[in-house]
Structures are given as C-alpha cells and as structure tokens.
Amino acid sequence: MPQLGESIAEARIIRLNIAVGDTVVADQEIIEVETNKATMGVTTLCGGTVTEIRGEEGVDYAVGSLLGILEASDEEILRTGAPTMDEQGDSESAAGDDDKNLHFRQTEQSYEEPKLVEPSVRGLPVPAGMKGAHYISPRMRARMDELGLREADISAIAGSGAGGRVTVADLEQFLEYISGWPESTASPMRLAVADAMRRSWSRPLASVGLPVVLDPVLEHRSRQNPKPGLTLYVLRAFAIALAEEPAMAGFLIGEKVVHPRAYDIGVAVQVEDGVVVPVLRNVDQHRVHELAEEYGQLVDKARARKLTPDMTQGGIATVTNFGTFGLKWGTPIPLPNETLILGLAAGIKKPRWSDEVNAFIPVTETEICLTFDHRVVDGGGAGLLLQRIGALLQAPEKL
C-alpha cells in the first residue's frame, strides 16, 4: 500500500482490477482504494506477471502493507529503482534459479503482514442526567486502547467509580448492553470526519452571524454566462477580507500566531457519508469569473470522490453553503488546521425599510455565520470581518 497523502495512514481496497496470472505494464491501475478523502487508483511500478494477491476488497490496509507480488524481469525491476540480483552481487544464486521473482521473494521478508484497521465504536447513546469524570485510570486507558476507543466514545457511560469515574466494569457492562443493537461499520470518510471534528473541538470555538442582502449578487450573477455559483462570490469576498487582515486567518502555535502565506480557501462539498473540502489557490488574486471553471471542476471531482491529496491540502479557511439544505442558521466547525469557517445560510425573502423610497421593499436576505478559534480571534474582530464580507457582497462587480 503506497503513501497516498501526507496525513493518510491507511486505505480500503474497494476494487481489484487484476487476477493471479495477469500480465501488467508499468503505471497500470491495478487496484482502486478509498481513503478518508477520496477514491484513487494504485498503479504498478513496473511491468510483469501477477503471481500472488494478498489484498482483499472491503478491507483496510496500513501504508506499507504487502498487497501482492509481481514477477518481473531485471529490466523492469530497474524502473522501480530497486537493485537487481546482479547489482546485489548475488549473481551465482540468480543464475541457479530460473524464477525471476527470487529477488522479490527475498525482499518480501522485510514487509510486515497486512495490518487490518478496525474502526472505533462510535455513536453511543447519551443518557440524560448522568455524572462523569475526566480522569481515566491506566487500566481503563489500556482497555480502551485494546478496543480502539477514545474519550469521546465513552462519554455516554455513567461512571460508578470515585467522583463519577468510568471504570472498566462500567465499560464492559455498557458494551454488553448495546451488543444486540443494530450496527454498521463506519466508512473511512465517516471516521475521518469524526476524528477531525474531535480534534477541532479541543479548541475554544465561538460563532457569530450577520444578515446580508443578496440582491446585488443575484442580479450580477443573472447577467453572467455561465452563472458562477453563489458560494464562489462568498469565497472571493472572504479571501479579500482575510488578505486585508492576515492575523484573522492566523493559527496559534505556542506563543506565536503564524500568519498565512497564501489565501487558499476550501469549499465544503457534501458527499456520501461525509464532507470533503477541495481548496482553491490564491483566491484573493483571481476574480470570480477566473475561478469559476476551477471551482466547478473541483466540486465535480469532490462529488465523484476523485480528489487527489494535493487538491485538499493547505487551506487556511473554509466556506460551507448549508443554505442548500434550507437551513437558516448554523454553527459550522473549522478543520483542526484552520482558525475560521464561514457558513452561508438559505436566502429568504424579507421586507426591508428603504430610506430612498420611504417604504418597505422585498429583498433576499441570508445569514453569513463565522465560527472561529477564540484563542486567535475575538468577537469584535469576527464581527468586523463579517461586516467587511457583507460590504464586498454589495459590490459584486468588483469581485
């Protein structure tokens, strides 16, 4: 299993495109895998014949696990950068063995057996009115490690130990209690979202919102061909506002606030069983019409689960349009490596007083909601940032 991304430790095989005895060529896609971010193909390093397949569909394997064996000629082996038998000074053994897979069979000993990755138990029911304690004993911690559980997974258990501490007996009793309940295996995507949100919630997060009139953007959008997505206007206004106040997008490391070096903004895309966040680069430097094609391509790839790791890394903030689900308000949670996330609610027709005509007029209004790391950003700064974004949206021709 190759390293498929900087933060990816394992992947699930979803399709084997080869069988034992098949002849393959270099760079041929032979396995399709699913990571916590996307589906992608695993290709061959060289040509040869498949002599053994150890990977199974539907099973997770850690990076570095041996998935199969390929019999290849010395010429093909050179493509991989691995030494041939002659280069290892073992030509005598090589000459005495017609099996050209000898090198790989010897190298195979350095690999570990495939490591199965079992998902943690999640989604535990939470009884009301219970007490609990944050302290976890070493014995309890060891048992949790055996089961693949984290602290959030045992928050549903009422502890019987001192000060409400959850004991091993409490855990075992609870697991026995739910043992007959319907269950399903969490997908890699679901586990990745759960892990990211758990890490994000370790910070003090706060949310603020501001009503914004969308009519100027909607009118401008109606005159464009093709029509840019509404999210793209918000994305562009967000990047400009952050470029004017770089500290707002900084993140705290020790006693330093590290400022962004580029205004790369992610956009949350709902996919089956989770959310992925492709990233648009240097959004502050490109107009809406310049970003439209790349934006559309990234969203399409996200929905098809075809994003590559470089398409999802390096964002400094995210925009999420939960208004597409008819929601009028929300408190989105930023990714662990980001300080901010901007949410866009549904547009609603409302009456608004106009001093120009001295009467109420109908407008389309939305709420933009900003969730931020309160260690870095205060409520006043967040409010000023939202006001600036709202003002930029009133002049969409400049976006």
CATH number at 317 reads: 3.30.559.10
Mean pLDDT of 279-297: 95
At which of 87, 110, 133 does a domain end?
A: 110
Q: What value does the mean pLDDT of the chain take?
A: 85
Burial (CB count within 10 angstroms: exposed 0-12, middle 13-18, buried 19+), residue 66: middle
Domain match, 28 and 99 both:
yes
Q: What is the mean pLDDT of residues 131-141?
A: 73
Q: Count up the domains in the chain and report the number.
A: 3
pLDDT band at 230 (very low <50, low <70, confident <90, very high): very high
**Pair (34, 57) in one structural domain:** yes
Q: Which residue range(s) make up the domain with 67?
A: 10-110
Q: Report phi then psi at 192, rounded to 5.
A: -65, -45
Cβ proximity of 120 and 149 under 8 Å: yes
Structural domain contains residue 1:
no
pLDDT at 92: 44
pLDDT at 126 over 60: no
Q: Which one has a higher pLDDT value, 80 or 326?
A: 326
Q: Is residue 2 part of a domain?
A: no
Question: How high is the pLDDT of residue 82?
Answer: 66
Beta strand pairing status for 279-280 and 317-320?
Answer: unpaired
* pLDDT in the model for residue 273: 78
| CATH of residue 77 | 2.40.50.100
Read off the pLDDT of each residue in 166-171 and give the average, rounded to a whole number. 91
Kindly state whether residues 171 and 295 are assigned to the same domain: no
Burial of 272: CB neighbours in 10 Å, binned 0-12, 13-18, 19+: exposed
Q: Which position has the higher pLDDT, 41 or 397?
A: 397
pLDDT at 83: 63
User: Does residue 3 lie within any of the structural domains?
Assistant: no
In this model, does residue 196 exceed pLDDT 50?
Answer: yes
Do 138 and 68 share a domain, yes or no? no
Is the pLDDT assigned to residue 327 strictly greater than 90? yes
Name the helix (H) or strand (E) containing 213. Answer: strand 205-213
Residue 8 pLDDT > 80, yes or no?
A: no
Statement: residue 286 has pLDDT above 80:
yes
306 domain residue, yes or no = yes
Q: Is 336 exposed, middle or buried (0-12, 13-18, 19+ CB in 10 A)?
A: middle
Whether 249 and 104 map to the same domain: the answer is: no
Query: Does 141 lie in the same domain as 266?
Result: no
